[in-house]
Amino acid sequence: MSPDDAGFGADNLPYGVDEAGHVVVAWRHEVIDLVHATGLDVGPEVWASGSLNAFFALGPDAWAATRAQLQAGLADQPDRARRPRHQVRLVLPWEVGDYADFYASLEHASNMGRILRPDGEPLPPAWRHLPIGYHGRAGTVVASGSEIPRPAGLIGPGDPAAAHDQPGQQPEFGPTRRLDVEVELGFVIGSGVARGQSIPVTDAERHVFGVVLVNDWSARDIQAFEYQPLGPFLGKSFATSVSPWVVPLAALEPWRVDGPVQQPEPSAYLKAGEPRGYDVGLQLSINDQVVSTTSSAGLYWSMAQQLAHLTVNGSGVRAGDLLASGTISGPTAGTEGSLMELTGGGRRALRLGDGTTRTWLADGDKATIRGWCGPRGGPGWLSLGDVNGTVVPCGQEVTPP
Ligand code: CA
């Protein structure tokens, strides 16, 4: 079995949705179409509903029972339920409700602070007290493989990549010249709570169905001009790509790790027991040339802390909501999760393995994020698959993936 197929073993079993709207599960080199699967308590009406939301609605006990029934009956599935994985075209696997993006990596937040505010404190004053985030645009969360048209917007007069950089000049409207990626992990809420309620940090993981890879595409020049004081708006809202496979949180159980020490100690509603993190390896490639390899193990604010924070004001949360970690960066060169950091804010070009150089993404570039747990091909190796997208020129109409 190839390492790629081994990464989709019986301890993984991620869920996706195919072009026909059927829920499918990846197993080795195949998918199992749950509409035709045997041995499941949950009926075909849920599996033919076009998204995972109907399954989310059944709740954590049904998710656990289905997973156990699938694992027990993998070898007994009829031929009509099985297809080669590479032949199956996958779509966005769930209807995305609200989308929030956090800023949970200490290394990323510190790198960004040093680039954007070289003379100030790298971290904003609240950063160590709460998981900083912003509400993103759910309607532009797109399936892996979707084309990403280069966005246009107002670019400030002082921007280093702008055509004119004289002080006092007017901002300039045009296609972004600083198109970037952000390597992130997203978690999909499967079970919500009503407005007026909050989710205690100790209970947060019960509300999470699973994990996806996220690319939070970012136009750094548009973002730089607009972001103060309310945060990013058009610089990020044009597209967010997610991987087609939603890996159940239960599959990540063996890959729990203690998080970094939190100092000062978090407020009571954010105090989480250990192990609070997950060790997911992540790799960013541009045109199949690897530019960064990192891991989620060192994330300062955990998924549970993010969800507890999001709901502590009584905002509630709904099944289908997507919460993303923010860019995941490590402490050393080559572990940064964005071109912004890899190029020092655009000051150093990056040499790709094919001999070309990049500071920001060019039209035609394909960015891919891969995710996994464990040593590749080794015992327990688990694949999260990948999320990819290709940049197309500004204004180009997009074709479905
Ligand atoms: Ca982000």
Q: Residue 236: pLDDT above 80?
A: yes
φ and ψ at residue 321, rounded to 5 degrees: -65, 145
Q: For tokens 């996220």, what's the residue?
A: 214
The pLDDT score that the predictor gives to residue 159 is 66
Whole-number Å distance, alpha carbon 48 to ligand 1 midpoint, is 33
Residue range 357-383: mean pLDDT, rounded: 94
Residue range 292-306: mean pLDDT, rounded: 98
Task: Tell me the pTM.
Answer: 0.96
Confidence grade of residue 180 (pLDDT, cut at 50, 70, 90)? very high
- Which residue among 36, 86, 108, 135 is the active-site one? 108
Whole-number Å distance, alpha carbon 214 to ligand 1 midpoint, is 9
108 noted as active-site residue: yes
Residue range 57-71: mean pLDDT, rounded: 98
Whole-number Å distance, alpha carbon 172 to ligand 1 midpoint, is 24
Q: Residue 4: pLDDT above 70?
A: yes
Residue range 101-105: mean pLDDT, rounded: 98
Residue range 158-163: mean pLDDT, rounded: 58
Q: Residue 168: pLDDT above 80?
A: no
Q: Residue 173: pLDDT above 60?
A: yes
- Which residues, listed in sequence order, are joined to residue 218 by a DSSP beta bridge? 180
Confidence grade of residue 160 (pLDDT, cut at 50, 70, 90)? low
End-to-end CA distance of the chain: 28
| CA atoms of 399 and 147, how far apart (whole Å) | 7
All domains of the chain in start order, with CATH? 3-91 (2.30.30.230), 99-392 (3.90.850.10)
| CA atoms of 291 and 303, how far apart (whole Å) | 26
The pLDDT score that the predictor gives to residue 166 is 52
The pLDDT score that the predictor gives to residue 161 is 52
